[in-house]
Amino acid sequence: MEQHYPRPHSGPIGPQSGQAAPPIRLAALDLDGTLLDSRGRITPRTAAAIQAAVRQGAVIVPATGRPAATVPECVLALPGVRYAITANGAAVLDLGADPAAAVRRRRPPEGCGPAPGQADPFAAHVLARSPLPPERADAVLACIRPFDCEINLFAAGRNVLTPAGLQQEYRRVGPALRQWTDQTHIVTPDLAAYAAARPGQVEKFCLFFTSPAELERARTALVQLAGIELVQGAPDNLEITAPGVDKGRALLELARRLGVPPAATLAAGDSENDLQMLRAAGVAVVMRNGMAHVQAEADYVTRADCDHDGVAELLERFVLGGAPFAP
């Protein structure tokens, strides 16, 4: 179910277009493939541009498909970053003055341990949440059970896997990120039972496939399922949320709460799960490394990719006075 948000402008925007961009007061930045480089880091130039934007009064918001507990420390530690859009927009959070500490305290205490109690660890920080209804979560699990894929259940800001799913994740992310997985994930023998015990907390399913053909078979089955939102966040994955949930709706909700008009927002992303956010924002920027059909909807495509300061480029152009970018 695609949302269609009215754009505050039409046509290209930016220094080369002849159409002036409005002053940007809120910039929502996708993480993987956008703010983070291919090794999961924030480049020094990008960090400096974010700090300059914050000093200028802009609100910088991580907008990610990840659950809150797996937002990287390097993002949470950015000065001035307080709000976050997580799980493709299923949750909008106010993490307070020290986001890193707020998230760290709510990660699994022992890392990859047994399922915790049923209390919502992020309840005090939730500004808005749009969970999958229990019957839809059950239907999704029943639908995807026959397929060979790694199933990640995002519930109340945490990533939950079965023991088999954890081994699949180890193989997918490699040794370098195994410790991070151990620190941030929860293991349970039965995802359906975990979800059923926590109604109102299931934010998203994130599926990873090793075979493109298997992904397409799963997609064909899932599109027949009513009452869900289905997007592709990367070539090897599919993501499922409640109907109408997307980063665009979350961006507009946060902007409303902060008193920022849509025309004064910017969104930056690279993949299909960013499309609605790009459509909702006053200025839509897509990374040079973004999917081709996503780039087609951009007001501006960066000259640099995520490994070469693409976010610094867009902040310098649209938030920091339009200074020319020198690669």
**What's the rounded Cα separation, in Å, for the pair 259 and 54?**
17
Q: What is the pLDDT of residue 16?
A: 44
pLDDT value at 6 more than 60: no
Q: What is the pLDDT of residue 187?
A: 92
Of the candidates 305, 302, 299, the residue with the CA atom closest to the CA atom of residue 315: 302
Write out the two tokens for 14.
């930016």
Q: Position 174: which residue type?
A: G
Segment 237-286, tens digit of pLDDT: 999 999 999 999 999 999 999 999 999 999 999 999 999 999 999 999 99
Q: What is the pLDDT of residue 147?
A: 97
pLDDT value at 223 more than 50: yes
Report yes or no: 260 and 25 within 8 Å, Cβ to Cβ: yes
Mean pLDDT confidence for 194-217:
95
Segment 116-150, tens digit of pLDDT: 667 888 999 999 999 999 999 999 999 999 999 99
pLDDT value at 4 more than 90: no
Percentage, residues of the chain above pLDDT 70: 89
Average pLDDT, the chain: 90
Write out the two tokens for 10.
């039409």
Reduced 3-state DSSP string for the chain = CCCCCCCCCCCCCCCCCCCCCCCCCEEEECCECCCECCCCCCCHHHHHHHHHHHHCCCEEEEECCCCHHHCCHHHHCCCCCCEEEEHHHCEEEECCCCHHHHHHCCCCCCCCCCCCCCCCCCHHHEEEECCCCHHHHHHHHHHHCCCCCEEEEEECCEEEECHHHHHHHHHHHCHHHHHHHHHHEEECCCHHHHHHCCCCCEEEEEEECCCHHHHHHHHHHHCCCCCCEEEEEECCEEEEECCCCCHHHHHHHHHHHHCCCHHHEEEEECCHHHHHHHHHCCEEEECCCCCHHHHCCCCEECCCCCCCCHHHHHHHHHCCCCCCCCC
Q: Does domain 26-109+246-318 have CATH number 3.10.20.30?
A: no
Report yes or no: 120 and 165 within 8 Å, Cβ to Cβ: no
Query: Among 62-71, 102-111, 248-257, which is the least confidently predicted range?
Result: 102-111
Q: What is the pLDDT of residue 110?
A: 57
Q: What is the pLDDT of residue 113?
A: 52
Domain segments of the chain: what residues?
26-109+246-318, 130-241
Segment 292-310, tens digit of pLDDT: 999 999 999 999 999 999 9
Write out the two tokens for 324.
């020319």
Of the candidates 3, 69, 14, the residue with the CA atom closest to the CA atom of residue 268: 14
- Give the gyration radius of the chain's Cα atoms: 19
pLDDT band at 178 (very low <50, low <70, confident <90, very high): confident
Q: What is the pLDDT of residue 114?
A: 53
Q: What is the pLDDT of residue 106?
A: 85
pLDDT value at 10 more than 80: no
pLDDT value at 22 more than 60: yes
pLDDT band at 1 (very low <50, low <70, confident <90, very high): very low
Q: What is the pLDDT of residue 275?
A: 96
**What's the rounded Cα separation, in Å, for the pair 19 and 247?**
26
Q: Position 117: which residue type?
A: G
List the beta bridge partners of residue 265. Answer: 26
Mean pLDDT confidence for 79-107:
94
pLDDT band at 2 (very low <50, low <70, confident <90, very high): low
pLDDT value at 318 more than 70: yes
pLDDT band at 221 (very low <50, low <70, confident <90, very high): very high
Fold of 130-241: 3.30.1240
Mean pLDDT confidence for 35-50:
96
pLDDT band at 14 (very low <50, low <70, confident <90, very high): very low
Task: Quickly tell me which residue has 């239907």 as its tokens.
Answer: 139
